[in-house]
Each structure stands twice: as C-alpha cells, then as structure tokens.
Amino acid sequence: MSKDNLQAVKRRFEIIGNAPALDNALSTAVRVANTDLTVLITGESGVGKEVFSKIIHSLSARKHSKFIAINCGAIPEGTINSELFGHEKGAFTGASAERKGYFETVSGGTIFLDEIGEMPADTQAYLLRVLENGEFIRVGSSVTQSTDVRVIAATNVDLMERIRKGKFREDLYYRLNTVPIHVPSLKERRLDIPLLFRKFTVDFAEKYRTTPIKLDERAELVFENYSWPGNVRELKNVAEQLSVLSEDKIITAETLVEKLPNLLKRNLPASFAPDGEASNFQEREILYKLLFDMKSDLNDLKSLVFELINNNDLKIPNQQLKQLTSPGYSESYPVYNQEARSRPNFNEEKHNPPTNGGVSIGDHRPILLDSQSSQEYENSEIIEESLKLADMEKDMILKALKKHNGKRKEAAKDLDISERTLYRKIKGYDIQI
C-alpha cells in the first residue's frame, strides 16, 4: 500500500501517528477490508481495537449494512447465547416472547466481538458453527437458521495461554485468527505521543472555545517515558484533565508533578528537582542503569577473585585484598599479617595463620605473601576512570551504537530512551557513526 493512500486513510479516520507498527496494522486492515475473511485484532486495552474494526467495515462491501460492537465480557454468561443467537418463547424463565439475536438482525453486515477471550465455552461452540457454515440455532429451538455475517474479534489477553488452561477452544482460535492484526501500544510508538496529545488538546479547545495547551521539551520527555497502561484512552483523559486544571497554556514538568504525579512513576528510581536543574530524566536513568550494572559486575568480580585466590595460591598484598573485600566477606575471609597477629582479639589456635605473613581463606591452605611482591604491588600506579556523567553517558551511547552496528532505533530501545533523544545526544557529543 502506497504512503499516499495510507495517509488518506489516516486523514479519513483521524488516525494519528507515524510509527511503523501502526502503519503495518493499518495497511493490513485496509487490504483485508474488501474480503469476508475473519479478523482477529490483538492489543492492550485502550489502543483502539474497535476503531480498526470500524475501518474494516467502512472499507468493505458491507459498509451500507449494519455494524454492531459487542463486549463479550460485559454480557452475563446466562444470557449471552440469547443475545447473540436469539431465543424462542418459553425457552427460559422470563422469555415471554421470541427474540432475534444479533447474528440474525445483522445478517449481511459486520459483528465486532470485543474481549473474545471472555466468551463462555458453550457460546464458543455456537460461534464456531457460525464461522464454519453460517448456521445457528436459537435458544430453545431445534430449527437451524442461516446468517451472512462477517465476524471481527478482538482481545487484550493471550489466547494461546487461555487455550493451555482449557478456557478457550483451539479450533475456534485458528478459525478466528485467519488474518491477525496487532495494534501497537503507546510504549511501542512513543514518538507519536506528542502528536496524539496535541490532537486531543486542540479538539478540547475547539469544543470549549479556549486556547489549546502545549507541552514544553521536558514535559514531552515525561510523557514519552511514562508507561501509559491505559494507552490512548488514558492519554486522552490526561489531555483533558490538564486542559481544565492548568492555568498556564505551556505545560512544564513542574506542572505535571503538581497536577498528575503518577506520570513520574518509572521502573528505575528517579527523582525530580523542582528547582529546575539542567539534568533531565533521561540522563538520570542512564546513570542509574550504569551504576546498577557496575555494582553487579563488581560483585561478580569479587567472587571470581576470591575463587582464583582460593584455588591457585595467588600472591596479593594485604591492602589490595582489603579493598576487594566487602563487609560481608570480612568474617569468612580473615586477613592475616604481622599487624593482625599483634591484635588482642587474634585467635591463633582457631585460625592457624601462616607464619611468614599472608592470607588464609576459610579452612583452605594459606596464600603466602613475600615482602618483595608486596612491595611491588604497593608501588604500582592506580589509574582511575573518569566519573563525569557526560563521559559515562557518551560511553554508554557508543557501546549501544557499536552493539547494534550504528542502528539508532535499536540502540535507543536498548538504552530505554527515545530515538529523538538519542539523535540529540549523538549530535551534542559529536559522535561519528
């Protein structure tokens, strides 16, 4: 599908965003619209699965017939069969007259079955028969009836997992999944978040005849890095809340802290400086991630060093060993030297230290240290790494780019920052790719 045609569809149905995953889902929906194939739309809650079902119906040959959306999880288990397939008079208590179901009244049109994973097991069997040969039976009847309905289903749960638990029919899954369409979440298209926010604020301003609010650069970073569990629906609610609650038309990060503190919740620890420090959330997150990785690597290195000392009679100065030993190792791996022997608490019988100075680890044989090798280590020069935040951040960016062969999109994903932020950092540090 050409880009021009795709943009025309976006304008017609007011689809906002340029993410490749969104374009792929929309292109698939347009291609399958003119067929009668069953479509299964997957995606998190609030991503707009029903919008895609309406796009498919509107572009199909059935566009002049009826379209109905049914939430399978909202209909009680005892009445869903009657709602979908109808019932005869007296079929159950309260059935005072016969009733036509949706598959009968919408014949020739399209039925959108949302939350298909919540459909009861017996209803799944009825639906499978409709999909296979277009036949159904009303509740309380023995007469088979025919229908010509296109089914579009949607779910926000893993149907394969429900199949493994025995809560969903495997044959129905493969019958529904003729054409799968995955609608990406906001986490999968972070660069579209400012565009969507601008659209919602403009719509709100036009509705109430006010000036639309805007996000500054730091506020956009907060939006792009929030998890958005409610996806587009949550973003729209936030846009309307800020439009009503904010007195300023330029929304800053400070305003977000005051009005919507939940937007600052992150997976990694981070803090917000209300005095407007220059450092932003992205830089802090990179630093925290680097420090956590360094701590983990240091613990692994300590374990490796002590294992090598234990098994290979390595020579190492006492001072160097003390620096490598954390408080948790002090009791398990006591250090012995001439000074230690003179301490009042030194128990010679218990530890049986070496007579010529050295280190004893646990119950294993001692590691001998001679004065000459100790002097050589003590005279060695220790070169410290740069601990500047900018140098560490630049190093992390270089490593990520090297790992992904210069591909900025994959590198940004690995660093957990937006591609636009990575591009700005590359330009600022004058990194040559």
**pLDDT, position 304:** 75
CA 242 to chain centre: 24
Question: How far is CA 340 from each of CA 125, 196, 312, 373, rounded to the nearest angstrom?
Answer: 80, 68, 24, 19
**pLDDT, position 270:** 43
d(C-alpha 246, C-alpha 259), whole Å: 8
d(C-alpha 292, C-alpha 285), whole Å: 11
Q: Which of helix, strand or coil describes residue 401?
A: helix
Report the candidate in 190, 417, 419, 426 with the shortest Cα–Cα distance to residue 286. 417
- DSSP assignment, residue 213? P
Q: Which of helix, strand or coil describes residue 265?
A: coil
Q: Enumerate domains of the chain plus CATH numbers.
A: 3-184 (3.40.50.300), 188-265 (1.10.8.60), 313-378 (no CATH), 389-428 (1.10.10)
pLDDT digits (tens, 9 = 90+) for 345-383: 434 444 444 444 444 444 444 444 444 544 554 555 555
**pLDDT, position 9:** 93
pLDDT digits (tens, 9 = 90+) for 275-287: 444 445 566 667 7
Cβ-count burial of 51 within 10 angstroms (0-12 exposed, 13-18 middle, 19+ buried)?
A: middle
- Percent of the chain, pLDDT > 70? 76
Give the start-end residues of each E strand in 3-158: 39-42, 67-71, 110-114, 135-137, 144-146, 150-155
In 3-state terms, the chain is what percent helix, strand and coil (to 5)? Answer: 50, 10, 40
CA 101 to chain centre: 39
Given pLDDT bands bounded at 50, 70 and 90, which one contains residue 247? confident
